[in-house]
């Protein structure tokens, strides 16, 4: 197999959860470009219809249905339908996720449980559903949506950080249990991504100065810019493709260097050197 062929996904079926739009759609678009058949689910028919319309606009033949990733019966039924339709599921991207920005002492147990259920229990349920099929077919790829909050804490995101930290360890544990069956489980950890939802955090102030949060993020990022969805697509394809067959249990952070850098004084930044990036997707989880 030539090196370019190792990045192809021809004949592979890729299931991306919550991929009606946002980062899930971006991952799906990249995988479809290198040959994958895309299947996706979302929480309601409006979102599924939105996704199907977007895929059609992009010329992608995608299969989408309603499925709640926190409902094991729905997930099992969805997986069975995909297997009946296509014969196999080769790639699972556990992309569906939510965040609630609430101070910990003000967060209810119900709110906590909702975040944990979607962001951590959902990937467990979906992975549990596909792993037996992957074992039977001789292997597969699972890609989890981690975050910088898999490594760092931040005010008001206790449930999200706990879920993403747990997802990091679930990634390692799936590798440990099922690597012997040629199943690779890795994770993508996005940094701060420029999207319509984060646009208000990058707007110029009335006096022409930078938004304080924009300045803060750039001061913490060696690249001194926000990421784009295109920055994430290459890694998604790599982790789904044969090129990554000996990589397992890893979380790869695409953060412009934030996790490697203690940062600098925001007031010392030279704004004249900044390069803006285009908003490239409307993501569900805008703030990592």
Instruction: For Cα atoms 280, 284, 285, give the angle at the middle one, nearest 5 degrees.
Output: 95
Report the C-alpha dihedral over residues 27, 116, 123, 61, rounded to 10 degrees. Answer: -40
Task: Give the long-range contacts of residues 72-75, CB within 8 A, separation 24 or more.
Answer: 72/125, 72/129, 75/125, 75/126, 75/129
Report the C-alpha dihedral over residues 12, 83, 172, 240, rounded to 10 degrees. Answer: 10
**Length of the chain as a residue count:** 288
Taking Cα atoms as reference points, which of 177, 167, 166 lies closest to residue 131?
A: 177
Residue 42, C-beta contacts closer than 8 angstroms, at least 6 positions apart: 18, 19, 20, 48, 51, 64, 66, 67, 96
Is 160 annotated in the active site?
Answer: yes
CA dist 11 and 21 (Å) reads: 23
Exactly one of 160, 178, 192, 253 is catalytic; name it: 160
Neighbours of 17 (CB within 10 A): 25
CA dist 185 and 174 (Å) reads: 6
Both structure tokens of 258: 């934030």
Both structure tokens of 164: 């993403």
Helix (H) or strand (E) holding 252: strand 251-254
Interhelix angle 122-137/72-86, rounded to 10 degrees, is 30
Q: Which residues are catalytic?
A: 160
């Amino acid at each position: 197999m030539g090196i370019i062929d190792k990045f192809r996904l021809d004949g592979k079926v890729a299931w991306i959860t919550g991929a009606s739009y946002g980062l899930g759609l971006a991952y799906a678009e990249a995988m479809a470009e290198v040959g994958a058949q895309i299947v996706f689910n979302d929480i309601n028919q409006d979102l599924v219809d939105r996704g199907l319309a977007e895929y059609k606009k992009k010329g992608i033949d995608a299969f989408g249905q309603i499925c709640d990733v926190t409902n094991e019966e729905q997930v099992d039924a969805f997986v069975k339908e995909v297997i009946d339709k296509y014969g196999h599921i080769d790639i699972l991207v556990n992309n569906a996720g939510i965040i609630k920005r609430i101070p910990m002492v003000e967060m209810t147990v119900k709110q906590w449980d909702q975040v944990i259920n979607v962001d951590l229990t959902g990937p467990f349920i979906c992975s549990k559903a596909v792993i037996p099929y992957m074992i039977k077919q001789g292997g597969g790829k699972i890609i989890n949506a981690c975050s910088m909050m898999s490594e760092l804490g931040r005010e008001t995101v206790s449930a999200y950080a706990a879920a993403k930290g747990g997802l990091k360890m679930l990634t390692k544990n799936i590798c440990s249990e099922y690597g012997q069956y040629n199943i690779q489980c890795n994770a993508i950890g996005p940094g701060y991504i420029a999207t319509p939802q984060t646009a208000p955090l990058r707007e110029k102030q009335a006096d022409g100065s930078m938004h304080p949060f924009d300045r803060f993020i750039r001061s913490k990022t060696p690249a001194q810019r926000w990421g784009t969805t295109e920055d994430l697509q290459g890694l998604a394809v790599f982790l789904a493709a044969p090129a990554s067959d000996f990589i397992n249990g890893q979380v790869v952070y695409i953060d412009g260097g934030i996790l490697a850098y203690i940062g600098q004084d925001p007031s010392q930044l030279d704004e004249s050197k900044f390069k803006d990036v285009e908003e490239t997707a409307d993501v569900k989880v805008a703030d990592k």
